[in-house]
Chains A and B, each alone.
Chain A
Amino acid sequence: DIQMTQSPSILSASVGDTVTISCRASQSVSNWLAWYQQKPGKAPKLLIYEASTLENGVPSRFSGSGSGTEFTLTISSLQSDDFATYYCQQYDGYSCSFGQGTKLEI
Chain B
Amino acid sequence: QVQLQESGPGLVKPSQTLSLTCTVSGGSINYADYYWSWIRQPPGRGPEWIGYISYTGSAYYNPSLESRVSISIDKSKNQFSLKLRSATAADTAVYYCARYVIVVGASKFDPWGQGTLVTVSS
Q: What is the interface of chain B, defined by CB distance below 8 A to chain A?
A: 37, 45-49, 52, 60, 62-64, 96, 98, 100, 105-110, 112-115
Contacts of B113 in A (CB 8 A): 43
* Whole-angstrom CA separation of A1 from B60 in the bound complex: 13
* Whole-angstrom CA separation of A63 from B83 in the bound complex: 37
* Whole-angstrom CA separation of A95 from B63 in the bound complex: 9
Q: CB < 8 Å: which of B48, B52, B64 contacts A98?
A: B48
Which among B48, B52, B64, B110 has the greatest number of chain A C-beta atoms within 10 A? B110
Query: In the complex the two chains form, is A98's CB within 8 Å of B49's CB?
Result: yes
* Whole-angstrom CA separation of A43 from B117 in the bound complex: 12
* Whole-angstrom CA separation of A98 from B53 in the bound complex: 18
Query: In the complex the two chains form, is B108's CB within 8 Å of A87's CB?
Result: no
Query: In the complex the two chains form, is B105's CB within 8 Å of A50's CB?
Result: yes
